[in-house]
Structure 1
Amino acid sequence: MKKSFFLFFFIITFSLFSQIRLTDVNFEFKKNNDYHQLTTNVNPITSEIFTFASDKESIFGARFNSSVFFSDSLTIKKPNEYNFLLGSSFLENNNPILYWATKNYEEIIGIEFDFENRVTKTIELNVNLKEAFIFNEFSEKGTYYFLIEDKESKAIQLISLKGKTIQKNTLDFSKYNFKDDKQNKTTISDLLKEYGLTKIEKKGFNSFEAGTSKLKYYLHNDTLIFTLDHVTTKTQVLELNLSTFEVNESVFLQNTTEKNIKQSNSLLVNNYLFQLKSNKDIFQIQILDYTNKNLINSYTIDKINPSPFKNSTFYSQTSNSSPRKLKNTKKFINKTSNTKIGALIYNYNGNYIATFGGSKDIRRNSDLLLGVGLAMTSVAAGYNGFDYDTFSGDLVIQNTTFEVVLNSSFEETENNEPLFIDKINQFTSNNKNIRYEHYFPFDNYYILCHYDKKNKAIVLTKFQDGIQ
């Protein structure tokens, strides 16, 4: 999927200034890649960075101080049966604690890393999720969360692990009405099971496919925000206070002037809600103030008139192939009318750099032709049991999108500098020895953590927006 935006040529021109290697630590993964895991967490109080790597036999932990200098490391034997590294949080003494689970989540333990005294401690946690339906799990500000449905009571619960403390809270959605896409009464549990739940990161980039998800969640300060866009008439918003665990609802109605809307969606960015809708004739964007629901700006793309975005080009891209330019708005409308529409938006230097469009799963023509050819050959040979689906090719993603830069008033403008994600993409694509890479915000920049297969080291590299 093409994550980059406008200025790839800038990245090439300024490639020497694209990244700064901050630090590294020697480490070698043992064989059997199935057991390799690498994760990083930042202590929100001390700003220390902790990176943990594990293979089939051992767990390696490295500590970096707030200036991103290597401080210390510890290696321990991996506990038997606990093969799934869930994540980490921090104890009151600021020591990191790693959470490990058995295959079926029947048992979860914590391993405290005490770098000062060079010891570790295993902590048994009274959490058994074998009989739970896990909707999602995530970490925020040093706490690890599970959003689940208890299979026996059918109640939705939010379980939090913070150090050794386990808190279970039942979430009450009973006073709110939920309907499916056919306007039949349903429950939020059924909706979560049908559509899944996608996390939208507040900082950094999200994939365009994440932006097309119908049910999303956002972490904003001490509030967990759910947005439901499975019906075309509205965006239903549920705000969960992570201190009181109270749930409040807001509803943002879609503009009803257009009829026969086939698709709709939304994306929450800072304090603005971008609402999208489309049918066979139009693709519409409206930007609302999240606090008062006032309309800030709106744009409509139709088949007849030129695009309101004069600096944008429509593209269609299948899997990782080169993007194909579309001639006009009619082509764009035709291709997006039968897709899951969505948006990818990044706020940089007061501007909103956005991708709008649609996504769908397709089978490549070459795979389809191969399947037809094999089927015909099979029939000609007198064999009628040919399984066409087996040879019809795997599904791949096709995105039909355009990119635009909006200023603080949500009017089209220009961006003249490359973004950190472009630099990371270039860096990783040009380095074949990179493994298990992930990035995270730190201070006013981003750090890419990865394993260098050639040099057998865990490396932290700095990336920033703009020409650096």
Structure 2
Amino acid sequence: MKKTFFFFLIFYKSIVIGQTVLNSYPIDLKKYDESNMILNVENTTTHDVFVFATNATNVTILKYNNALFLVNEFTVPRTNLENHSIIGYSFSEDGNPTLYWATDDYKSILVVKYYLEGKTYKMLSYNSPISSQFIIATFQKNNLFYIITKDLATPELIVYVFKNGVVEEKLFDFSTYAFQDRKTQRISFNQVITDNPIEKIELDEYNPLFKSSKKSKLYMFDEHIILTLDHNPIKTQVFDINLENNAITEKTFTKSVINNPKKLGNSFLYNDKIYQVNASQDELVFDIKNYNSGETLKSFKVIKSDTIRFKSSPLLVQGENQRTRELKNTSKFLQRLSNLDIGISVFKNSQNTLVTLGGVPKIEKRYYTVNDQLYTWDFGSSAESVFFESTLNKDNEFVKFEQQPYAFDNINLFLEQNKKAILATTLKFKDFYILGYYDSTTKQYVMRKFTDGFPPEESLNPIINKAVFSKSFPADKP
């Protein structure tokens, strides 16, 4: 189901907007099935761009240099990879890629290194213990592949690091740390994570409110994983997990006081700052703090009879498959917000920092087991989301700013208008985004360049109609 929880209004001519085609490559996927998958990724050391495309019979690897010219290609039969799909990738020091293939239950993980110059590959099998654990996130960092899991029987997070065919397992024990619920009653780490499953936050992408409203969030930095917990509305509990020395460091950031038993709060970590919100039906407090020192850099408070003067958009409400509507005043906004999961999302462009603050329908999410396999159960209400946008300058002052679309707004528009573009993924590359997709009509893999701002002037028609966009990426990455 498509999530569309943040919107803004711009004027577009109702034609296809594609920005710039970078290149294309003929690939025939025969028919669309679960075996078909395409990824476009960057070797962050060499800045070469790779495309991994697979169907039921073959795996094709395309290598582009940092000027995005095709310099190598390799197609190999998909042998011994039945019932496996790509879960991640990494790059060796020689620049060659490794793909990680797994069954749905992760009982079998196959590590396949591809040698593009010699057109050969080497396959290793990893007997994975991961099938008895819940997978929190899989991701790439510094050309390595990571899997983070949680075993519900122990108060630990487990990090698997894949490098050059070797898997290193790191255990991080939270049993010595204290956790409290909203009534200050002591609870276990397992209970916190069971009631509030961890959401991985993307550092270089806009994170929609349905992600940033989660009470437990994970941020991946160089050799560090930051885990933030906001299950307690009084404080944000932060754990710095050091992957070099396997140490855990705890920090606590107290939220501004609101005298209401039904208060709700959350936070977002971005660029060495932690953004906190605490709200009730009567008031809202928004704080910006220095992550390293804890110093409060800015604090903004508004009560229900006030006007929110630090917003750069209207107060908006949106339901599933409904048009965005404007709320008349702060009181109505806070009333609706009090029944939702509150969240903040922060994203920076070349000039300013964009803050989205609001709430999304509550989602009941729990872990459970069936035949020793871990699953999650989701149940959401049909309530509407509310939100507004604010723009900050480098001094954390709110500024009036005529918001222009980001690259991923333009990507969303393109995909909405081009249903033949399937298997889409996005890649942040240099100062722009690459949208890679399979054109089901021309049977080609296409890469297009998208940048922030309005499309070229010839693509616009002054004030013809209002188009509403979601600031969310069109496809999830593994």
* Shared fold (TM-score, shorter chain, > 0.5): yes
2:396 to 388, 407, 410: 410
Q: Which whole-Å CA distance do the structure 1 matches of 2:261 and 2:381 have between them?
A: 29
Residue 431 (structure 1) aligned with residue 443 (structure 2): no
Contact between 1:336 and 1:358, CA under 8 Å: does it hold in 2? yes
Report the secondary structure of 2:384's partner residue: strand
Shift of 1:4: 6.2
Q: Which whole-Å CA distance do the structure 2 matches of 1:174 and 1:310 have between them?
A: 42
Shift of 1:346: 1.3
Q: 1:190 to 1:260 in 2, by over 3 A?
A: closer
Contact between 2:175 and 2:189, CA under 8 Å: does it hold in 1? no
* Correspondence list, 1:44-443, <5 A: 44-78=44-78, 79-150=80-151, 155-309=156-310, 311-360=312-361, 396=382, 398-416=384-402, 417-443=404-430
Report the secondary structure of 1:429's partner residue: helix
Report the secondary structure of 1:130's partner residue: helix
Q: Which whole-Å CA distance do the structure 2 matches of 1:162 and 1:125 have between them?
A: 13
Shift of 1:419: 1.7
Letter in 2 for 1:61: I
Shift of 1:3: 6.4
Contact between 2:154 and 2:190, CA under 8 Å: does it hold in 1? no
Q: Which whole-Å CA distance do the structure 2 matches of 1:311 and 1:19 have between them?
A: 27
Report the secondary structure of 1:34's partner residue: coil
Report the secondary structure of 2:34's partner residue: helix
Shift of 1:155: 4.1
Report the secondary structure of 2:112's partner residue: strand
Shift of 1:412: 2.1
Residue 451 (structure 1) aligned with residue 438 (structure 2): yes
Shift of 1:12: 4.8
Where does structure 2 lack aligned partners over 5 or more consecutive residues? Answer: 364-378, 457-478
Contact between 1:30 and 1:56, CA under 8 Å: does it hold in 2? no
Shift of 1:351: 1.0
Q: Which whole-Å CA distance do the structure 1 matches of 2:200 and 2:272 have between them?
A: 17
Where does structure 1 lack aligned partners over 5 or more consecutive residues? Answer: 363-392
Letter in 1 for 2:286: I
Count the aligned residue pairs. Answer: 436
Deviation per CA, 1:200-220: give whole Å up to 9, x if none.
111121122111010001122
Shift of 1:15: 8.1
Partner of 1:8: 10
Shift of 1:6: 4.5
Report the secondary structure of 2:409's partner residue: helix
Query: Normalising by the residue count of structure 1, what TM-score does the alignment of the two structures yield?
Result: 0.87
Q: Which whole-Å CA distance do the structure 1 matches of 2:380 and 2:348 have between them?
A: 35
Letter in 1 for 2:309: P
Report the secondary structure of 1:85's partner residue: strand
Contact between 1:38 and 1:54, CA under 8 Å: does it hold in 2? yes
Letter in 2 for 1:240: I
Q: Between the two proteins, what is the percent identity of the paired residues?
A: 28
| More helix by percentage | 1
Q: Which whole-Å CA distance do the structure 2 matches of 1:152 and 1:7 have between them?
A: 48
Deviation per CA, 1:380-399: give whole Å up to 9, x if none.
xxxxxxxxxxxxx9955631
Please tell me whether Structure 1 or Structure 2 has the larger radius of gyration of its CA atoms: 1
Contact between 1:62 and 1:70, CA under 8 Å: does it hold in 2? yes
Partner of 2:367: none
Q: 1:397 to 1:38 in 2, by over 3 A?
A: farther
Letter in 2 for 1:158: V
Q: 1:81 to 1:155 in 2, by over 3 A?
A: farther
Partner of 2:449: 462
Shift of 1:410: 2.3
Q: Which whole-Å CA distance do the structure 2 matches of 1:256 and 1:162 have between them?
A: 46
Query: Normalising by the residue count of structure 2, what TM-score does the alignment of the two structures yield?
Result: 0.85
Deviation per CA, 1:24-68: give whole Å up to 9, x if none.
211122324222222222111111111112223322222111111
Q: 1:261 to 1:145 in 2, by over 3 A?
A: same
Q: 1:168 to 1:32 in 2, by over 3 A?
A: same
Q: Which whole-Å CA distance do the structure 1 matches of 2:15 and 2:352 have between them?
A: 22
Q: 1:398 to 1:438 in 2, by over 3 A?
A: farther
Letter in 2 for 1:26: P
Partner of 1:379: none
Q: Which whole-Å CA distance do the structure 2 matches of 1:406 and 1:2 have between them?
A: 23
Q: 1:108 to 1:397 in 2, by over 3 A?
A: farther
Q: Which whole-Å CA distance do the structure 2 matches of 1:203 and 1:309 have between them?
A: 25
Shift of 1:187: 2.9
Deviation per CA, 1:64-98: give whole Å up to 9, x if none.
11111122222222224442211100123221010
Partner of 1:22: 22
Letter in 2 for 1:75: T
Letter in 2 for 1:280: Q
Deviation per CA, 1:210-249: give whole Å up to 9, x if none.
1101000112232111100011110000001121121101
Q: Which whole-Å CA distance do the structure 2 matches of 1:330 and 1:13 have between them?
A: 36
Letter in 1 for 2:124: I
Shift of 1:361: 5.2
